């Protein structure tokens, strides 16, 4: 955890770009930020370890190797508890603020009702973040300074990829608490190591989802599909197959970190190597078929 006065001297997000762009893929880690502005720490009533419970800690580090495979990796440095990039901009809870918000058309989604809008009200097991209502101007500040620039850059990365290769695969990289993962099929099923979300086949070609599932299972991972994580706003908003394929990848944190101390375990390096190998195989597979993909006829 890093603490800063503000993000004036610290970039709110990074794009790690390859020297030679050879893969029509963009990897994205929108929840891996661990740099906390002091104003958030001053406003919260939670201790720092509890506040961090919504982080996808180390997920960006698990995927940095994809840059050597010819694909960029985009990652947030600010935490999800400050701004959640995997939400629509209008998913704001007006009851969190001390006055009217300077925008219309707020979305009263189940995520907002549950305290998990674009500016979250809770972390973990419904633990309230803030001691007092936020100033109404704070919503616009966070959206203007963090949310919109991030999504503008992600959009540009995807558009540049499509312009160069004619297609793009967006891999949205996340982690899930081990305690939140229940048996997916029945009470005897193994808890999944990873869950792939493609909005039930609408944000990504099933051919690609199936191939990624196959590659992961071949390496011994227990892989679930779409339940309980089908993909969030990013997957839904950016996935438009057959041009852009967006798939969400959720990793069980117990595979690589101690969830109480936020420390890497001995499994980290092994998992990182396994994921890099799978990404390399997926890129090779996709590069070989994307000019004449098996889903093109159905799309036409």
Does any domain span residue 33? Answer: yes
Tell which wins on pLDDT, 209 or 296: 209
Does any domain span residue 150? Answer: yes
Q: Which pLDDT score, from 0 to 100, does residue 103 have? A: 78
Does any domain span residue 115? Answer: no
> Above pLDDT 90, what percent of the chain?
87
Three-class SS state of 38: helix
d(CA 176, CA 194): 9
Does any domain span residue 121? Answer: no
Query: Could you read off the pLDDT of 64-81 as tens digits, one per residue?
Result: 999 999 999 999 999 999
Does any domain span residue 62? Answer: yes
pLDDT tier at 128, thresholds 50, 70, 90: very high
Q: Are 29 and 74 a contacting pair, CB within 8 Å?
A: yes
d(CA 252, CA 144): 32
Nearest C-alpha neighbor of 30 from the set 2, 65, 60: 60
- Residue listed under structure tokens 């985009």: 74
Reply yes or no on whether the pLDDT at 32 is more than 80.
yes
Which stretches within the chain are classed as H helix?
Answer: 38-43, 48-51, 59-63, 110-113, 136-142, 148-165, 206-218, 233-238, 267-289, 296-299
Least confident of 3-17, 125-139, 280-294: 280-294
Segments forming the whole domain that contains residue 187? 2-87+146-292
Does any domain span residue 198? Answer: yes
Q: Which pLDDT score, from 0 to 100, does residue 164 have? A: 95
Reply yes or no on whether the pLDDT at 235 is more than 90.
yes
- What is the DSSP secondary structure assignment for residue 133, as one 8-state letter? P
Q: Are 58 and 7 a contacting pair, CB within 8 Å?
A: no
pLDDT tier at 292, thresholds 50, 70, 90: low
Q: Which pLDDT score, from 0 to 100, does residue 7 have? A: 92
> Above pLDDT 70, what percent of the chain?
94
Does any domain span residue 102? Answer: no
Does any domain span residue 133? Answer: no
Reply yes or no on whether the pLDDT at 297 is more than 60.
no
CATH number for position 233: 3.40.630.40
Q: Which pLDDT score, from 0 to 100, does residue 293 have? A: 52
- Residue listed under structure tokens 């633990």: 127
Does the pTM of the predicted model rise above 0.85? yes
Reply yes or no on whether the pLDDT at 294 is more than 80.
no
Nearest C-alpha neighbor of 232 from the set 91, 100, 40: 91
- What is the DSSP secondary structure assignment for residue 87, as one 8-state letter? S
Please give the C-alpha separations between residue 81 and each of 36, 129, 211, in angstroms, as whole numbers: 9, 8, 33
Reply yes or no on whether the pLDDT at 265 is more than 60.
yes
Total domain count for the chain?
Answer: 1
CA 19 to chain centre: 24
Query: Could you read off the pLDDT of 4-17 as tens digits, one per residue?
Result: 999 988 999 999 99
């Amino acid at each position: 955890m890093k603490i800063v006065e503000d993000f004036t001297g610290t970039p709110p997000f990074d794009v790690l770009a390859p020297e030679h762009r050879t893969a029509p893929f963009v990897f994205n880690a929108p929840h891996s930020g661990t740099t906390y502005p002091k104003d958030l720490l001053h406003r919260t009533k939670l201790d720092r370890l509890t506040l961090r419970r919504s982080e996808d800690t180390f997920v960006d580090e698990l995927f940095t190797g994809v840059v050597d495979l010819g694909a960029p990796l985009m990652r947030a440095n600010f935490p999800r508890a400050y701004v959640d990039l995997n939400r629509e901009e209008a998913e704001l809870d007006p009851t969190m603020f001390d006055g009217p918000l300077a925008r219309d058309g707020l979305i009263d989604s189940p995520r907002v009702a549950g305290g998990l809008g674009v500016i979250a009200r809770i972390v973990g097991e419904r633990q309230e973040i803030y001691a007092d209502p936020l100033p109404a101007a704070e919503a616009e500040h966070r959206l203007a300074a963090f949310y919109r620039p991030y999504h503008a850059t992600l959009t540009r990365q995807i558009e540049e990829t499509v312009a160069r290769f004619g297609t793009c695969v967006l891999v949205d990289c996340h982690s899930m608490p081990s305690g939140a993962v229940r048996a997916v099929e029945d009470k005897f099923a193994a808890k999944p190591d990873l869950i792939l979300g493609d909005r039930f086949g609408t944000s990504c070609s099933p051919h690609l989802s199936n191939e990624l599932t196959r590659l992961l299972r071949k390496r011994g991972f227990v892989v679930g599909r779409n339940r309980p994580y089908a993909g969030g706003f990013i997957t839904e908003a950016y996935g438009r197959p057959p041009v852009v394929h967006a798939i969400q990848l959720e990793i069980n944190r117990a595979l690589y970190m101690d969830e109480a101390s936020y420390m890497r375990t001995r499994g980290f390096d092994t998992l990182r190597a396994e994921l890099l190998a799978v990404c390399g195989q997926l890129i090779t597979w996709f590069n070989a078929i994307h000019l004449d993909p098996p889903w093109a006829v159905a799309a036409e």
